[in-house]
Amino acid sequence: MKNIYKIMAVLLLLVFSSCSESFLEKLPKDQLTVSTTFTTNANFETYAWSLYANILPGYWDFAPILREMGSDLMVNNAGTVGHELLWQRKTVPSSSGLWNNSYVNIRRANLMLDNIENSQLTDSEKDHWRGVGLFFRAYVYVELIANYGEVPWVDRALTEADEELFGPKTPRDQLAQNILNDLTEAESLISPSGNGDNTVNTDVVRALISRFGLYEGTWRKYHGLGGEATYLQASVDAGAKLIAAHPELHPNYDEVFNSESLQGVQGVLLYKAYEFGILNGRWSHYNRSSIGHRDLTKKAVDQYLCLDGQTIHTSPLFDGEQDAYDEFRNRDHRLYFNTPPPFRVDTGGRNQLTWEYDSDPKSREYIDLMATLSDDEHKTLPTINWRGLVVRTSPHFRKFNEGHGFNVTYTGYAFYKFSNKISRLQNRDSHDAPTFRMGEVFLNYAEAMYELGQFTQEVADKTINKLRARGAVAPLDLANIPNDPTRDADVAPELWEIRRERGIEFLAEGLGRVFDIKRWKKLVEYGDDEKLGRWVKNADYGNNLPIQGGASEGYVSPWGVPPGVPEHYYLEPIPSDQIVLNPELTQNSGWE
Amino acid sequence: MDINKHNFSVLAGINNEESSFESFDAQRNGLINVDLPSLSGATGNQATDDSYGEWSVLGYFGRFNYNFDEKYFLEVSGRYDGSSRFPDGNRFGFFPSFSAGWHLGRESFMESLDFLSSLKLRGSWGEIGNQNTSSLYPAVPGLGITDYGGTQTVNWLNEDTGTRYSTLQLPNLVSSAFTWETVQTLNLGVDAAFFKSRLSTSFDWFKRKTLDMLAPGAELPAILGASAPLENVADLESSGWELALTWNDKIGDFKYSIGATLYDYQSKITKFDNPAGLLSQYYVGRKLGEIWGYTTDGYYTIDDFEPGTLNEDPSSPNYLTGGTLKEGIPHWEGRNQNPGDIKYVDLDGDGIITDGNNTLENPGDRKIIGNSTRRYQYGFFGNFSYKNFDFSFLANGVGKRDIYLNNRVRFPYLDEFSVVYKSQLDYWTPDNQDAFFPRNYPLGGVNYGISRTTQTKYMLNGAYLRIKNLTLGYSIPETILKKNKIDKLRIYIAGENLFSFNDYPDGINTELATQGSGGIYPYLRSYSVGLNLTF
């Protein structure tokens, strides 16, 4: 029995031995903690790359381009039903990646902002990183306000015990003011040269002010909220400074979207770089496959002017729309970069990498033209599929594909703004994506100036006419604006031309066309328009194409007449899980 | 230690484990000479990486055994365990256990029952600790370093080097108060053997409680921007039983033994902080494996639509679409239904098929329609020999299980990348309205997805029986072998996975936990012929 006592004694000794706790004290050696991260300038920079990587869009995620299918200018041609926004099929989601990811990214920015003060940074470094943090947080909130109208404002990294988690939505006035205040502060704090090439700097902050100021200002004006002048003026001020610093554009429109590198390209303020095999995009590859590409509508194509600056309805240069070759002649060159011009080549009926001219000389008109406007890495004709097989003709219809199912369209107008021939592998695009560029700033500035009643010929020359020159279109002369019979009655001719330019130059970029339509309060008005494609004689296509009204010739109509967009579709529904978790969070009206 | 009929034994000990690892790797592509691999003998970009980790546990344990006359048994034991994974102050947990047994068959009053060979009653209650976290440092809010070689998550390029930037991940929220999970088990059992031990049986019943399970402390609004920290907030309770029977006997030269086991359990959540009752999370009373789904009410038929509203031109791609449903016929929220789409029962009577707000209180038109837990798992075996021949078999299976498969093996043509298998040809068309599979659309779109959502009609019966092994052998008589100095020579033929009886689509492995996309490696059926030779 004595042994037992001995054993017990040893046991007790060990239990209370002081070494046990330190034996169990293990700290990670390959990860940092908050206190060891936010110390030096280099560490802040390392952390900040996660903001760039997670927040800024590029050529991988399709969400920004898919959203455009709800607009008047684009149609998803791989789909099987019309867009949910236009066909009354939107429902309240039980959870939302947009909502959740936005707040993860806000936390990412807030964590950095919360830890600047106690770091080892110099005062100027502190200013810079505060500016960077405020910029990225504002970037996320701009997306949130555009989608939901009102969301809770969170400006620090919350803990699980914070009561703010269960607070209500921040009123739009306050939310918008907070965003503008942050951006104004960021503009004054951030280093004018950022932290190196292609980083967020004063110009980039101003570009976001230009975007958000116009968005919020016009939303307020057209939705009758009032207070628009502050935001429009902020947009104008930021735009004016940017235009003074960057008055000229890169001369080639297509190269802004389809260049291997945007480094040093004039007018590109920030871009997402891609490198073959290291970081890949896929928009161009998808665009050249059998799915995943989109079409322009006839409305989108019709807005492109003729070279004389006149509309297709008023220009003597316009040769008519029934023949595709006529339709494309003498048009804004950007049309040829955004949708393939008509052509036909001979491949002996096979899917192959090489081609011959078609026997009909008419078929090569735009092949010859594009050889002068572009090159074989970009937009020469014929177009090719993702791995280089020759597309034999354009327009090329999904429902009459002549034996090759790739690069097909519903409307006859493939959208190929982001398409090029650089990479011929799946998901291995290496062309860079612009995230902020002067083309947008010109558009924002012109529109904001108009909304402030200050749009003049001088402003037009600095903005719209610079953009038009890139498409070889005659300048806009305010004294002699073409009388477009398709103009909305409630939109003044000058504003119509500004909006036209935006629809041509900026489609599927920035916040996107859907948000333009929403801020102009045109969603309901445009929403019940039938989305049409090009004019066809159905007999030429085996009577396979759906024609408007079931006619034998006329405009292709993929989905028919939509039922109309309900008024409450202007704002997205708040995901229902968030309302269940926080009853203070009220649903947007109409979605209850 | 024996004192009269009292038997004791005592054990005490310490266990102490420490693990640390370091790894370092360097890589360079583009060898100049593939036969002489070296970092300096290559031309490509160089990449290096390393990682470090450590953990330690420290435990003290003791056990006391006692029995009286080999009839009454008692064991008491305890552990005091500490782990480096838990935060200072919460590292240690104490886990006692007790068990007792009674060899009833050895009692004198049982001796008159001569069909009974032995009988033992057992009971135990005990706790063990569980460090249920895969992270080495779950208590440290670390900012993991990501780089290209690692996670490939940093989608921002350093144009100077042509590589992705390294950056830091957002740290998790951590609670300072979390510690061991406790698994508490109560087990009662009986072992009995009958007829001179020809029949041996055992039966166990258990109730296992997993207390203080690590789980997100509560479901929190997403504006937090992080997951709620893991805390010891959930309890899980499982109960079940197990029965085993074996029969051994011999009739002349024929020897055989056959046996069977049967096992069953169910688990449910008994504590969890989910006051909103979100179905995406555990809730109190949730049985593990439960399947929420819709109740199928057949197909929409032409009669469900207002006459004249459907496109009735058979040559049109839109044939039998575009109709207006009659008053009172429910439809999926935000969809225009067509004949051939699955119609669901409108359980909540609001005329629209929805998932409500995905809570217990409002699950929309869903209810619990099944459970994927494997119930009544069973096995059989048999060994038979007659003179020099022997034969054995092994079979196992599951008595009851529900499985919902929504993949390419189950449904025809989900998208443009899938095909239609022979077993899937019975799908709805205007000429085949009595089909098993619903109406499909170009690229598997339109309403095909909602026709395939989890529902009663396409629930599979997951029960199965598999004959895992059959072996037939023959041993050469020893009299022949002795001359050649061989002790034993047996030849046999065997088959693995010969038969399976189930309702699954062909090619699905019945034992895999999840069936994935259907594109999984199937069972191999194998046959073998062999010989065993002993010198």
Sequence-ordered list of residues with C-beta below 8 angstroms from that of A237, at least 6 positions apart, any chain = A209
Q: How far apart are alpha carbons B139 and B85 in whole angstroms? A: 7
Contact B480, B488 (CB under 8 A): no
Establish if B443 touches chain A: CB-CB under 8 angstroms: yes
Beta bridge partners, B269, equal B236
Specify the DSSP element, H or E, that contains B377: strand B375-386
CB contact under 8 A, A31 and B137: yes
Sequence-ordered list of residues with C-beta below 8 angstroms from that of A321, at least 6 positions apart, any chain = A312, A327, A534, A535
The Cα of B163 is separated from the nearest Cα of chain A by a number of Å equal to 6
Shortest CB distance from B164 goes to which of A23, A30, A279?
A279
Residue A539, token pair as written in the block: 């007999």
Tell me, what DSSP letter sits at residue B476? P
DSSP codes, A278-294: TB-B-HHHHHTSSSS-E
Give how far Cα B48 sits from Cα of A44, A49, B26, B28, B157, Å. Answer: 23, 20, 4, 9, 18
Other CB atoms within 10 Å distance of the CB of residue B350: 13
What does DSSP say about strands A294-296 and B352-353: parallel, antiparallel, or unpaired? Answer: unpaired
CB contact under 8 A, A46 and B168: yes
CB contact under 8 A, A94 and B91: no
Q: How far apart are alpha carbons A263 and A273 in whole angstroms? A: 9
Give how far Cα A383 sits from Cα of A349, A406, B88, Å. Answer: 16, 11, 65
What does DSSP say about strands B254-271 and B116-130: parallel, antiparallel, or unpaired? Answer: unpaired
Residue B283, token pair as written in the block: 């809730």
The Cα of A381 is separated from the nearest Cα of chain B by a number of Å equal to 28
Kindly give the interhelix angle for A202-222 and A123-148, rounded to the nearest 10 degrees. 30
Residue B379, token pair as written in the block: 């096995």
Specify the DSSP element, H or E, that contains A271: strand A268-272
CB contact under 8 A, B137 and A576: no
Contact B84, B93 (CB under 8 A): no
Q: How far apart are alpha carbons A346 and A388 in whole angstroms? A: 15
Other CB atoms within 10 Å distance of the CB of residue A499: 22
Residue A42: CA count within 13 A, CB half-sphere: 2
pTM beyond 0.90: the answer is no
SS (H, E, C) A406-457: CCCECCCCECCCCCCCCCCCCCCECCCEEEEEHHHHHHHHHHHHHHCCCCCH
Contact B136, A28 (CB under 8 A): yes
Sequence-ordered list of residues with C-beta below 8 angstroms from that of A3, at least 6 positions apart, any chain = none
A50 contacts in B (CB within 8 Å)? 146, 154, 167-170
A29 contacts in B (CB within 8 Å)? 52-54
A21 contacts in B (CB within 8 Å)? 88, 91
Q: Which of residues 268-297 of A touch B (CB under 8 A)?
A: 272-275, 278-279, 290-291
Residue type, B452: R
B54 contacts in A (CB within 8 Å)? 26, 29
Minimum CA–CA partner of B9 in chain A: A4
CB contact under 8 A, B80 and A26: no
Backbone phi, then psi, for B157, in 5-degree steps? -100, 135
Minimum CA–CA partner of A158 in chain B: B224
Q: Which of residues 237-276 of B touch A (CB under 8 A)?
A: 276
Would you call A399 exposed, middle or buried from its count of C-beta atoms within 10 A (0-12, 13-18, 19+)?
Answer: middle
Give how far Cα A297 sits from Cα of A304, A327, A412, B291, Å. Answer: 12, 14, 9, 44
Contact A531, A552 (CB under 8 A): no
Shortest CB distance from B162 goes to which of A49, A275, A576?
A275
Establish if A91 touches chain B: CB-CB under 8 angstroms: yes
CB contact under 8 A, B278 and A581: yes
Q: How far apart are alpha carbons A93 and A26 in whole angstroms? A: 43
Q: Which of residues 106-125 of B touch A (CB under 8 A)?
A: none
Establish if B319 touches chain A: CB-CB under 8 angstroms: no
Predicted confidence (pLDDT) per residue in B315-343, tens digit: 777 788 888 888 888 988 878 888 999 99
Residue A254: CA count within 13 A, CB half-sphere: 25
Residue B11: CA count within 13 A, CB half-sphere: 12
Establish if A133 touches chain B: CB-CB under 8 angstroms: no
For chain B, report the end-to-end CA distance as a whole number of angstroms.
Answer: 45
Confidence of residue B96 (pLDDT cuts 50, 70, 90): very high
Contact A240, A258 (CB under 8 A): no
User: Is residue B515's pLDDT more than 60?
Assistant: no
Shortest CB distance from A20 goes to which of B82, B359, B442?
B82
Q: Which of residues 211-240 of A touch B (CB under 8 A)?
A: none
Q: Which of residues 1-40 of A touch B (CB under 8 A)?
A: 4, 7-8, 10-11, 14-15, 20-21, 23-34, 37
Asked whether this complex has an ipTM greater than 0.90, the answer is: no
B358 contacts in A (CB within 8 Å)? 94, 576-577, 580
Establish if B144 touches chain A: CB-CB under 8 angstroms: yes
B321-335 b/e with 16+ CB inside 10 Å = b?
bebebeeebbbbbeb
CB contact under 8 A, A103 and B225: yes
One digit per residue, the tens of pLDDT, for chain A of length 592 reads 556 666 666 555 555 554 556 777 887 777 788 888 899 999 999 999 999 999 999 999 988 898 999 999 999 876 667 888 888 888 888 889 999 999 999 999 999 999 999 999 999 999 999 999 999 999 999 999 999 999 999 999 998 889 999 999 999 999 999 999 999 999 999 999 999 999 999 999 999 999 999 999 999 999 999 999 999 999 999 999 999 999 999 999 999 999 999 999 999 999 999 998 888 999 999 888 877 678 999 999 999 999 999 999 999 999 999 999 999 999 999 999 999 999 999 999 899 999 999 999 999 999 999 999 999 999 999 999 988 999 999 999 988 989 888 899 999 999 999 999 998 888 889 999 999 999 999 999 999 999 999 999 999 999 999 999 999 999 999 999 999 999 999 999 999 999 999 999 999 999 999 999 999 999 999 998 999 999 999 999 988 899 998 899 999 998 888 989 999 999 999 998 899 889 999 999 999 8
For chain A, report the end-to-end CA distance as a whole number of angstroms.
Answer: 76
Tell me, what DSSP letter sits at residue A361? G
Average pLDDT over residues B104-121: 81
Q: How far apart are alpha carbons A173 and A151 in whole angstroms? A: 11
| SS3 state at B209 | strand
The Cα of B415 is separated from the nearest Cα of chain A by a number of Å equal to 11
Beta bridge partners, B255, equal B250, B385
Q: Between the CA atoms of A100, A105, A107 and A108, what dihedral angle is there, to the nearest 10 degrees?
A: 150
Torsion sign over Cα B137, B140, B141, B147: negative
CB contact under 8 A, B225 and A80: no
CB contact under 8 A, A94 and B357: yes
Shortest CB distance from B446 goes to which of A26, A60, A80?
A80
Confidence of residue B151 (pLDDT cuts 50, 70, 90): very low
Establish if B138 touches chain A: CB-CB under 8 angstroms: no
CB contact under 8 A, B14 and A32: no
Q: How far apart are alpha carbons A228 and B296 in whole angstroms? A: 53
Specify the DSSP element, H or E, that contains A210: helix A202-222
The Cα of A238 is separated from the nearest Cα of chain B by a number of Å equal to 27
Sequence-ordered list of residues with C-beta below 8 angstroms from that of A444, at least 6 positions apart, any chain = A210, A211, A213, A214, A235, A239
Tell me, what DSSP letter sits at residue B394? E
Backbone phi, then psi, for A93, in 5-degree steps? -75, 150
Other CB atoms within 10 Å distance of the CB of residue A29: 13
Q: Which of residues 349-368 of B touch A (CB under 8 A)?
A: 354-355, 357-359
Sequence-ordered list of residues with C-beta below 8 angstroms from that of B528, at least 6 positions apart, any chain = B493, B494, B495, B496
CB contact under 8 A, B357 and A577: yes
> How far is C-alpha B458 from the chain's CA centre?
21
Q: Between the CA atoms of A476, A477, A483 and A487, what dihedral angle is there, to the nearest 10 degrees?
A: 50
Q: How far apart are alpha carbons A391 and A394 in whole angstroms? A: 8
Task: Report the mean per-residue pLDDT for chain B.
Answer: 86
Give how far Cα A559 sits from Cα of A67, A529, A549, A556, Å. Answer: 17, 11, 11, 9
Task: Count the helix, strand and coil residues of chain B and give each as a percent rounded to the nearest 5.
Answer: 5, 50, 45
Establish if B83 touches chain A: CB-CB under 8 angstroms: yes
Residue A263, token pair as written in the block: 């480094």
Q: Which of residues 31-90 of A touch B (CB under 8 A)?
A: 31-34, 37, 46-50, 52-54, 56, 58, 60, 78-81, 84, 88-90
Minimum CA–CA partner of B417 in chain A: A291
Average pLDDT over residues B54-59: 90
Specify the DSSP element, H or E, that contains A215: helix A202-222
CB contact under 8 A, B221 and A582: yes
| SS3 state at B339 | coil
